[in-house]
């Protein structure tokens, strides 16, 4: 009987549990959970803040999930050290938990720049967990002025969740556009215009020089008065546990396509990892929920003696603000990189397909996101555009774009 230990209790951990149980239904699984909550869908915290869902409905699995999977969950515990020589995980309460196979699924943490005067701000919050959301909710009312530092996914989803619950929301970002990591200038402008219609104010290309209690003094000379501050500048992968024992770490924990780290019997999965992005050929931290689950399941299967690989990861995002939806995936090669772009656009939508070397490399869809899964499949599978009806792909993607033989495979032999 093996002893399995998983550090973390997010979606990657759930994938790991389920991967282990495909191979080993009897051995002990210990989950070290820093949060006092069962696994839940983090992207839903803004909808909970908005009142569109509840904490119970955010649960990723059923109530008896851990019991049914033979898991011992240590809630409210933090792993502070790995002793790989003796195969032990040490927690903040002094527990020494033995393992035969270990998975690090520690996710990421908010990055907070050392803003001068930040210590003078009384009501300041992050927005990554249920506890963050509940703390923020207790601090607001209809008269609250909220200042959000960071116009990325976390900051903007927080703004959406707060929009009907506070009097004023201002969002600032050092970048000259919102969602700068996934959208270009024109696409970002379309999204920003939509957000502004719902009362969100922006200060872009600007940053905080100093805080003085309830005032942010900006580098541009503008003063922003607020009652509540939300820090959503960015996140950093939690890599310290592996780094401290000499494991290979870059921006994330480096893994191979079996989710193995550089240290024997230690795997990693989810937002704390850095792996291959097949759409760009680069190593990246791909901090998105579907990848986290697949990585976790792959890790679990291999930890239990099975054989699994995950070798077609790509960056993906599916987001929506006040009814306007956007999906992005892959990479966006420019003409200088040898790429080409197919585009359709109107007042409320933009569709861009990025191609290079005879393959679909990436896409940006705003306002019209139907059948995006077909585009994603083409990127993941690296299917040559010569093997499909490329004209139909651009205008109206469906299974009809594939050659009959490919359709048979995708439909299980049925045309």
Same domain, 353 and 299: no
Same domain, 143 and 292: no
Residue 53 near residue 47 (C-beta atoms within 8 A): yes
Same domain, 105 and 123: no
Same domain, 222 and 369: no
Same domain, 178 and 153: yes
Q: Which helix (H) or strand (E) holds 11?
A: helix 11-23
Q: How far is CA 305 from the centre of its chain?
A: 28
Residue 340 near residue 356 (C-beta atoms within 8 A): yes
Residue that finishes a domain, picked among 202, 233, 264 = 233
**Dihedral in degrees, nearest 10, Cα atoms 337, 343, 346, 351:** -90
Same domain, 241 and 95: yes
The Cα 233–Cα 172 span in angstroms is 10
Number of domains in the chain: 3
Whole-Å CA distances, 122 to 171, 206, 349: 19, 23, 41
Which residue, among 279, 266, 207, 201, has the nearest Cα to 239 in the 3D structure?
A: 266
In a domain, 313, yes or no: no
Same domain, 291 and 376: no
Residue 112 near residue 235 (C-beta atoms within 8 A): no
Q: What is the pLDDT of residue 396?
A: 66
Same domain, 221 and 358: no
In a domain, 324, yes or no: no
Q: Write out residues in the chain with pLDDT < 70, as ranges.
A: 390, 395-415
In a domain, 320, yes or no: no
Which residue, among 36, 128, 100, 18, has the nearest Cα to 73 in the 3D structure?
A: 36
**Strand partners of residue 171:** 148, 202
Q: Please state the φ and ψ torsions of residue 22, each to the nearest 5 degrees.
A: -70, -20
Q: Please list, in sequence order, all residues whose beta carbon lies within 8 angstroms of the beta carbon of residue 175, skipping any fewer than 6 positions away.
A: 151, 204, 205
In a domain, 317, yes or no: no
CA atoms within 13 A on the CB side of 242: 32
**Dihedral in degrees, nearest 10, Cα atoms 154, 155, 157, 161:** 130
Residue 57 belongs to a domain with what CATH number?
Answer: 3.50.50.60
The Cα 13–Cα 198 span in angstroms is 37
**Strand partners of residue 79:** 91
In a domain, 415, yes or no: no
In a domain, 136, yes or no: yes
What would the pLDDT profile of 186-207 be if each residue is shown by its tens digit?
999 999 999 999 999 999 999 9
Q: Please list, in sequence order, all residues whose beta carbon lies within 8 angstroms of the beta carbon of residue 308, skipping any fewer than 6 positions away.
A: 19, 258, 297, 298, 301, 302
Same domain, 98 and 151: no
Q: What is the pLDDT of residue 398?
A: 63
Q: What is the pLDDT of residue 399?
A: 57
**Strand partners of residue 260:** 267
Same domain, 104 and 240: yes
Same domain, 198 and 276: no
Q: What is the pLDDT of residue 373?
A: 87
Q: What is the pLDDT of residue 415?
A: 42
- φ/ψ bin of 52: left (φ > 0), alpha (ψ from -120 to 50), beta (otherwise): alpha
Which residue, among 209, 175, 216, has the nearest Cα to 192 in the 3D structure?
A: 175
Residue 311 near residue 276 (C-beta atoms within 8 A): yes
pTM (two decimals) = 0.92
Same domain, 204 and 244: no
Tell me if residue 392 falls in helix, strand or coil. helix
Neighbour-count burial of 310, counting CB atoms closer than 10 A to its CB (0-12 exposed, 13-18 middle, 19+ buried): buried
Residue span of the structural domain in which 371 resides: 332-410
In a domain, 314, yes or no: no
**Residue 336 CB: number of other CB atoms within 10 A?**
6
The Cα 130–Cα 285 span in angstroms is 23
Residue 365 near residue 397 (C-beta atoms within 8 A): no
CA atoms within 13 A on the CB side of 184: 12
In a domain, 321, yes or no: no
Q: What is the pLDDT of residue 377?
A: 87
The Cα 253–Cα 170 span in angstroms is 35
**Dihedral in degrees, nearest 10, Cα atoms 359, 363, 368, 374:** 40
DSSP class of residue 299 equals H
**Residue 247 CB: number of other CB atoms within 10 A?**
19
Residue that finishes a domain, picked among 205, 233, 261 = 233
């Amino acid at each position: 009987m093996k002893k399995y230990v998983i550090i973390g209790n997010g979606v990657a951990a759930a994938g790991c549990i389920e991967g282990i149980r495909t191979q080993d239904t009897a051995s002990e699984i210990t989950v070290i959970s820093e949060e006092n909550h069962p696994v839940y869908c983090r992207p839903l915290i803004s909808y909970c803040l908005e009142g569109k869902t509840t904490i119970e409905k955010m649960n990723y699995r059923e109530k008896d999930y851990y019991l049914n999977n033979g898991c011992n969950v240590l809630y409210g515990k933090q792993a502070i050290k790995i002793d790989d020589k003796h195969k032990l995980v040490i927690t903040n309460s002094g527990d020494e938990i033995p393992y035969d196979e270990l998975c690090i699924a520690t996710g990421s943490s908010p990055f907070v720049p050392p803003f001068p005067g930040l210590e003078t701000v009384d009501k300041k919050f992050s927005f990554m967990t249920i506890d963050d959301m509940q703390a923020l909710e207790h601090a607001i009312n209809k008269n609250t002025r909220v200042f959000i530092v960071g116009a990325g996914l976390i900051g903007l989803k927080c703004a959406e969740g707060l929009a009907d619950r506070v009097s004023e929301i201002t969002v600032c970002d050092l970048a000259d556009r919102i969602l700068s990591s996934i959208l270009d200038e024109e696409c970002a402008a379309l999204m920003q215009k939509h957000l502004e219609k719902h009362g969100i104010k922006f200060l872009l290309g600007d940053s905080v020089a100093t805080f003085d209690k309830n005032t942010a003094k900006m580098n541009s000379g503008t003063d922003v008065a607020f009652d509540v501050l939300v820090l959503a500048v960015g996140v950093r992968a939690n890599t310290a546990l592996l780094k401290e024992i000499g494991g290979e770490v870059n921006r994330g924990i480096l893994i191979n396509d079996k989710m193995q780290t550089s240290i024997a019997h230690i795997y990693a999965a989810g937002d704390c990892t850095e792996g291959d992005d097949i759409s760009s050929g680069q190593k990246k931290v791909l901090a998105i929920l579907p990848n986290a689950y697949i990585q976790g399941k792959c890790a679990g299967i291999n930890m239990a003696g099975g054989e699994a690989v995950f070798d077609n990861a790509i960056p993906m995002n599916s987001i929506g603000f006040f009814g306007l939806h956007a999906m992005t995936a892959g990479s966006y090669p420019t003409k200088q990189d040898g790429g080409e772009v197919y585009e359709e656009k109107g007042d409320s939508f933009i569709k861009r397909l990025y191609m290079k070397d005879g393959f679909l490399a990436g896409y940006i869809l705003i306002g019209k996101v139907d059948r995006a899964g077909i585009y994603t499949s083409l990127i993941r599978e690296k299917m040559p555009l010569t093997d499909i009806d490329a004209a139909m792909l651009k205008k109206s993607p469906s299974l009809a774009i594939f050659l009959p033989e490919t359709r048979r495979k995708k439909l299980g032999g049925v045309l």
